[in-house]
């Protein structure tokens, strides 16, 4: 046996190193997928906001809190309205608040009484630039509340992911 062949040790060491690298690559791939999935689809808070009430009515539009950013969509999954004992609270998809009044029109999501609503996947879907606008009428506030409280949660995902989110992609 000469010095150059290493008695087979070099070949065995290389094989063990290659097997170890393949195992590490598989582990890294498995760890990257959940992180990638989280980057594509995750939950974000909706609100929490307080709609100021004057004369039993109020409207609220704040795009930073109630609208998906460019390139993203929201599927609102839970919405809670509280802090009032009588009146109507409606969350509208789209439209605008102009001069203190709601204009335009989108899909309404009404609350006839305070409480939480669990919303199915894609039932209240907001595209980039679709604000959620809160309109309150005939409101009697609960003791200690200065306005109607709105909060919730939405699935947030990149727009390209919509067919996957709807289960349309195979």
Please report where in the chains the tokens 């996957």 appear, as a residue.
164
Summarised one tens digit per residue, pLDDT across range 79-88 is 999 999 999 9
Q: Is residue 2 part of a domain?
A: no
**Averaged confidence pLDDT in the chain:** 82
Domain membership of residue 14 as a residue range: 7-39
How many domains does one find in the chain? 2
Contact 141, 54 (CB under 8 A): no
| Tokens describing residue 12 | 């065995």
Residues 34, 5: Cα–Cα separation, whole Å: 44
Give yes or no: residues 35 and 84 share one domain. Answer: no
Summarised one tens digit per residue, pLDDT across range 71-115 is 999 999 999 999 999 999 999 888 888 887 788 777 788 887 888
Give yes or no: residues 72 and 33 share one domain. Answer: no
Cβ-count burial 22-56 (b if 16+ within 10 Å, e if not):
eeeeeeeeeeeeeeeeeeeeeeeebbebbbebeee
Q: What pLDDT is attached to residue 12?
A: 62
Give yes or no: residues 106 and 161 share one domain. Answer: yes
Q: Is residue 139 part of a domain?
A: yes
Q: Is residue 170 part of a domain?
A: no
């Amino acid at each position: 046996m000469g010095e150059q062949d290493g008695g087979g040790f070099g070949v065995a060491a290389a094989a063990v190193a290659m097997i170890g690298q393949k195992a590490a690559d598989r582990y890294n791939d498995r760890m990257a997928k959940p992180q990638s999935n989280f980057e594509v689809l995750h939950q974000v808070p909706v609100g929490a906001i307080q709609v100021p009430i004057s004369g039993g009515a109020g409207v609220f539009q704040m795009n930073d809190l109630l609208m998906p950013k460019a390139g993203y969509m929201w599927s609102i999954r839970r919405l809670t309205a509280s802090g009032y004992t009588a009146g109507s609270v409606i969350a509208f998809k789209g439209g605008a608040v102009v001069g203190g009044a709601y204009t335009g029109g989108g899909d309404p999501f009404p609350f006839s009484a305070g409480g939480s609503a669990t919303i199915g996947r894609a039932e209240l879907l907001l595209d980039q630039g679709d604000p959620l606008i809160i309109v309150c009428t005939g409101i009697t506030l609960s003791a200690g509340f200065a306005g109607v409280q709105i909060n919730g949660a939405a699935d947030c995902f990149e727009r390209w992911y919509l067919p996957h989110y709807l289960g349309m992609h195979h």
